[in-house]
Amino acid sequence: MKPLNTNVYSHTFSSIFVKFAVCFLLLGLAYRLFSSSVLQFSPVVVPTDLAFDEDKEALPPNLPVSSSDLSVNHTPKTEKCNVFVGNWVQDLTGPFYTNATCSSIEGHQNCMRNGRPDTDYVYWRWKPRDCNLPKFDAKRFLNMMRGKSLAFIGDSIMRNHVQSLLCMLSQVEQAVGVYHDEQYKSRRWVFPSHRLTLSVVWSPFLTKASVFEDSDGVSSGIIQLHLDELDATWTDQYENFDYVVVAGGQWFLKSAIYYENGKIVGCHSCQGKNITQVGFYYAYRKALNTTLKFITSSKHKAYTFFRTMTPDHFKNGEWNTGGYCNRTRPFQEGEIDINDIDGMMRKIELEEFERASTIGKEKGLTLKLFDTTLVSLLRPDGHPGVYRQFHPYPGKDKHLKLQNDCLHWCLPGPIDSWNDLMMEMLVNG
């Protein structure tokens, strides 16, 4: 009998061992890949009681919200994204509020109550091109602003924005009115349980102005505008504000005589007067420059949003010459260009902001560009139009010549997305 070949058995054993080791390694690798996949794509749940701890102190007035207070849906700070470049996309979830759930809507913007027949304009949301924009979270916003003061300084578009914000916040807590001027143009509210003070300060030129108009905008005299002297209505209160939103706008298109150092330096559209026509671009730049110099030189470092101008959508005329707006859907990016006047005003805004931003950085001031121009330009369908008044067409006569509002926004409406943008800027800085 031949002796057993032990080398064969040794070789066979080695082969089996190697195969077993390889299988084990492959199984381990598969498990690791599966585990990392689960970890990567599983949703993160933030418990409500942790995310909105009402006993936590709010942030200092001049700092943005910490990234640790961030919802997982917000764009990470490491991503480069301009949230003001994008398109409006359909959102079938509908508005955050309605005229039935918010009592803060001014009559001229209450399009639902006033009988506007279409409702498609409330089923859109702003979608930045390169990132996600979370919807406004009223509870989170109130907690971020706990114990703070937020002021909106400017014209009736600012008032429009404040009403939108009030409606959105009222779904969590009702504001209590504590002040208004005689014409209800400047107002103040408090949210008692969050100790938040919210103000709108009427200052359409930001600088000192004498205006001779009635409540319908009918003028009885030319405006006297001091370009180098700010309106004390807002500057006297400035140190009380932790956060401010400030903007110029359409009022600069009105006829006016301009002053500097107490002397007339020119005018805009002042026919019949022996005054040099310098145009409103000159005045707009001077007024914004004076405003931003005040903010950047102040010892009080308020967190400041500088909002760009809002285009109107009047067709075939202006508000007082038969202009109207009857489009029922948004434009898409590239379908409409900004007109020359609005484009020049925006150019001035960007130049003055850039100048002020450089100074602000050196002084530790937080100054943010709140660039709502494109966002607004694409929404001709969001204005009250003839529904600025209650049921404007008696019977079925729709051929009446009625005044349109193609500048302000229906509530609810496109301006609600400004609050999404403002919160994103606060959260992600």
Whether residue 161 lies in the annotated active site: no
Alpha carbon separation from 296 to 220, 245, 300, 357 (Å, rounded): 36, 14, 9, 8
Q: Which of 417, 416, 411, 341 is nearest to 383 (CA)?
A: 411
- Residue 150's H or E segment, with its range, is strand 149-154
Task: Exactly one of 268, 408, 416, 420 is catalytic; name it.
Answer: 408
Rounded-to-integer distance, Cα 185 and Cα 213, Å: 14
How is residue 327 written in tokens? 């489009």
How many Cα atoms sit within 13 Å of 267 on the Cβ side?
15
How many Cα atoms sit within 13 Å of 2 on the Cβ side?
3
User: 245: how many CB neighbours lie within 10 A of its CB?
Assistant: 24
Task: Exactly one of 104, 156, 170, 199 is catalytic; name it.
Answer: 156
How is residue 301 written in tokens? 């470092």
Residue 128, strand partner residues: 86
User: 37: how many CB neighbours lie within 10 A of its CB?
Assistant: 10
Task: Exactly one of 137, 312, 371, 405 is catalytic; name it.
Answer: 405
Whether residue 405 lies in the annotated active site: yes
- Residue 17's H or E segment, with its range, is helix 6-41
**Residue in this structure with the two tokens 């509908």, named with its chain if needed:** 94
**Residue in this structure with the two tokens 């006047």, named with its chain if needed:** 341
Q: Which residues are catalytic?
A: 156, 405, 408
